[in-house]
Amino acid sequence: MRRALGVNLAAFGLLFVFHIIFASWNWDVAFSIVALFISLQVILFGPLTVVLEGAPVRSQRRRTNRLSFLVAMPLSFGLAWAYGGMAWSLPAVAVIVGATLVLHGTLERRLSARR
């Protein structure tokens, strides 16, 4: 789990560096593409980490999703702040944090269901 979480965080860090570089060079298209990938990664942080981990046991995947959710929440608030124009925007927080909650919660529910 730690390796998958580390890989996902490293990918986020790399994307964030590219987003800063592309913004400073005024490469709008590249910036927008990287911003899209950052947005998807933050909102899907837990599910992506679960996939990266590839654990065969459902309880392990569930634990990974739960820990990843704790990482995803501050990232999603930061993403909402960025989408709000570097200010707090209730609609941005509601959409981004809400999507993060729904997607992580849906995976949690699917992993906890008896089959």
pLDDT band at 68 (very low <50, low <70, confident <90, very high): very high
* Lowest pLDDT segment from 86-90, 98-102, 110-114: 110-114
Predicted confidence (pLDDT) at residue 47 exceeds the cutoff of 90: yes
Each residue of 103-115: pLDDT tens digit? 999 999 999 876 5
Residue 11, CB half-sphere, CA atoms under 13 Å: how many?
A: 18
Predicted confidence (pLDDT) at residue 11 exceeds the cutoff of 90: yes
- By CB neighbour count within 10 A (0-12 exposed, 13-18 middle, 19+ buried), where does 43 fall? buried
Q: What does pTM read for this prediction? A: 0.89
The residue ranges of every structural domain in the chain are 2-112
